[in-house]
Amino acid sequence: MLDVIRRNSQSWAVKVIFGLIILSFVFWGATSMKSDSVDVIATVNGDNIYRADLGQEYEMEARRIRQANPDFNLTGETEQEAFAQLVLNRMISKALLRQEAERLGLGISNTEFSVAVRGVPLFQDATGKFNETVYQDFIRMQGVTTGKFEEMFSDDLLMNKLQDYLGSSIKVTPEEARRALDFEMERRVVEYLSFDHASYMDKVNPSEAEIITYYSEHKEDWRIPDKVDVEYLNFDTKALAGITPVSAEDVKKYYNDNISSFMQPEGFLTRHILVRVPLAMDVQEEAVLEARKKADAARAELKAGKSFAEVAKKYSEDPSSKDNGGELGWAFKGQFEPSYEAAALALKPGEISEPVRSYYGFHVIELIELKPEAPRPFGEVEESITAQLTESAALRNLPSAMASVEDGIITGSTLENLASGYKVKIMDTGLMSPSSITSLLELPENLFDGVDKMQSGTMFPTPVEYGGGFVVLRLKQYVPTYIPQLDDLRGDVVEAIKLEGAQKLAEADADAALKEIEANGGKIPAKLSGKTAQANATRFTGIVLFEPNEALTKAIYLAPLGKWLPAHYNVKSNPNQTPMAQPATGAEPGSAHTLLLRVNESLPVDENDWKQLSEMYVQQLENLRKQNMFDLLIGELYSKAKIEIKAKSLLRPY
């Protein structure tokens, strides 16, 4: 984890951004405000947003959602337009924020960009070093070029810097955090009566007429969606590169011919003590002088012979290094801010600098060791070169291979012939929904339009291209959507009727019991004595024995102590709780119940819990307030902006 000088990891916003980069830019999105296209779809204070960029981000976001939910499918024109509008709105927000960052004089230098990329754990190997192959593989997964990805990444860093700048003055006191913790973690002890629906099932015996009527009224509940089974050949990077394999000699020759590109700049190992200076625009001179005074005091203690680790722990405000003796790890020339780097490289190993001012404050630096400029060993870059040459070979072979395969399909070649000729294995999806297959293979959503008119065993007429290759498909089976006959569903229909009937009976008994309790002044009737149980509830989990029920949880925290709630609530047992943890239900996890309950006790947060959670709550509250400030900024920018949408349809030409 790099330090604050490298501007990642410890910043609250960077943590969010890097985490979401792994999720394909779900928070900020991924867009470029530059394009070769002249098709302007919107302007934001005079800056253009192009149709090509909207289309690219639309596809990236749809792909990200499909990865999490394979059944996600934008089939209708209205749905597609609405989704495109959401994506465009996010692009407009980002354009406004970019303009605001530029107005404030904030930007991202090449050094900052390099440090940030190398600091992302997702791009590092098992030893924690940046790995070019891993980096390029990730970019390919996003379906964009390296240049486009790096443009998007730089944009995200700029948003982070703007967040950091605006939120630097926000501080939360331990007292404020304690109040928030007391509110969120306050527990309620509830006493409840459970009317288990399962115990009423045998009392519901539907007639044949009721079964037929229920089936007729609920047919769509049992509809089976259409499914497709296709066999396919995947001409991915490996398969395409295999047409002209990359040899070990090719890799070694590339290394020797391009040795200058593998040079590692001068490396240095440092440790530091950071005393922060607020990033606010109106920072007072007294605050700067106070920070400098503290840095001078730290340096004086080092000069007096105290260990760097001891002084760093006492003075440093860099949480990523203060408990590690201030050490920042190895860096290369060009990775740190110029002021920090110049001061560090002016030292001899073992020397300590005067306080040095940087973007974040004052640093007292010790140079530990230097490494001269040298090429990276061949073994260290061999894998990366192989991947690069393999990808290049695949890209060269893609057009001719695709054309050749298409000719083969036209002239009647079978999937087996094509597989044999290119040494590609025939794969089988099995019966799946069309949307699941297109999501799995990252293919166009409309691929299976008209599949109901194809015969089994028919080849798809053309290869279907995707990110870095293409696939050839053959329809094995198509099963259209249908609703099973009543005879095939009789058991399910009877079960559904019995479940509905059991719930009604349980509710009736619960309501009758509640009336009796109210008539007895809140006392449990003798016939229900011993049938109550107790459980804990929190604002965020509800009653832990049951699945979350927002209405019930709200009622619990609004209810006066000792008084039964005036209505019953239907819940399901928590699947994560064992039957042994449910003494009042005696039922399996996931079973349905109707509850009557009252709140008997309110329990504050335990002091030991506060000691363990206090720092986390302070940080969480600060992050929340920073995000609220940022949301207010976006609203203000929107209110003052001149935004013009130039297209009637976002997804089609004018």
In tens, the pLDDT along 250-296 reads 999 999 998 887 887 788 899 999 998 865 545 577 878 888 999 99
pLDDT in tens, 35-69: 333 488 899 999 999 888 888 888 878 877 776 67
What does pLDDT average to over the chain?
83
Strands 532-538 and 469-479: unpaired
Share of the chain above pLDDT 90, in %: 43
pLDDT band, very low/low/confident/very high, at 14 (cuts 50, 70, 90): very low
pLDDT at 581: 41
Per DSSP, the residues of 532-551 read EEEEEEETTTEETTB---HH
pLDDT at 270: 93
Is pLDDT of 98 > 70?
yes
3-state helix, strand, coil in the chain (%, to 5): 50, 20, 30
Instruction: Tell me if 158 sits within 8 A of 98, measured CB to CB.
Output: yes
Mention every residue, 6+ apart, whose C-beta is less than 8 A from residue 166: 626, 629, 630, 633
pLDDT at 652: 55
91's enclosing H/E stretch is helix 77-103
Pairwise pLDDT comparison (28 vs 562), residue with the higher score: 562
pTM: 0.54
60's enclosing H/E stretch is helix 51-68
pLDDT band, very low/low/confident/very high, at 333 (cuts 50, 70, 90): confident
pLDDT in tens, 468-525: 789 999 999 999 999 999 999 999 999 999 999 999 999 999 999 999 999 999 888 8
Exposed/middle/buried for residue 525 (C-beta within 10 Å: 0-12, 13-18, 19+): exposed
**Which of 61-65, 122-126, 590-594 has the largest mean confidence?**
590-594
Arithmetic mean of pLDDT, 591-614: 89
Nearest to 164 by CA among 15, 336, 362, 318: 15
| Gap between the Cα atoms of 114 and 154, Å rounded | 10
pLDDT in tens, 390-415: 888 888 899 999 999 999 999 999 99
Cβ-based neighbour number of residue 473 at 10 Å: 25
**Which of 48-52, 207-211, 439-443 has the largest mean confidence?**
207-211
pLDDT at 27: 29
371's enclosing H/E stretch is strand 361-371
Tokens 């709780």 correspond to what residue? 577
